[in-house]
Structure 1
């Protein structure tokens, strides 16, 4: 590769990255999971793509977590109810990765806190 070719490739790469940065800055208020250059209307169900087996991606900042905590959502001046409403997430959908949800469900079934609640109330 000649120096002139290399310089042309570097300029085209820079231009492409700069265009992506401009698009991201213009669209910072609406964060969705579309690819750059995809001019289709944002999908209402994008929240489903943000929840995977091992992580959930915050639709506000794009960071990945095992679960979206109240503390993290407060950084975006939201609570879980407002976050769900903003992105159309059903109330029954946990804001956590599938593995974390399954683990909590398994623990609840083994601990059976609903049975222990009756015995705690009966003791004086």
Structure 2
């Protein structure tokens, strides 16, 4: 399934699931511990009813809380938790250019998603 941005400035990026989890736990007010049930319809693109053709990435950013680096979300906390529940090593999120370099430095970002890359869910 094609990986698609939800907002133009949040470019789909492959991130390390383990590092994402650790950074996210720092931010207790945004942390979603678990997801139960099916994914929401709006997380996907459809060509025809009930046929998923694309996955819409969450919009994520880096920030500091009490001197500790963490992640926050414009939207997509629950879809990110759902992806993490799939035990993927790397998952796609949307990340602005201004946060990409730092995300790479700390091992969170692995690479930008290329146009031909897909995710199987």
Shorter-chain TM-score range = under 0.3
Of the two, which has the highest radius of gyration?
1
Question: Which has more helix, going by share of residues?
Answer: 1
The answer to which structure has the higher strand fraction is 2
User: Which structure exhibits the higher relative contact order, with contacts defined as CA atoms closer than 8 Å and separated by 6 or more residues?
Assistant: 2
- What is the TM-score normalised by the length of structure 2? 0.27
TM-score (norm 1): 0.27
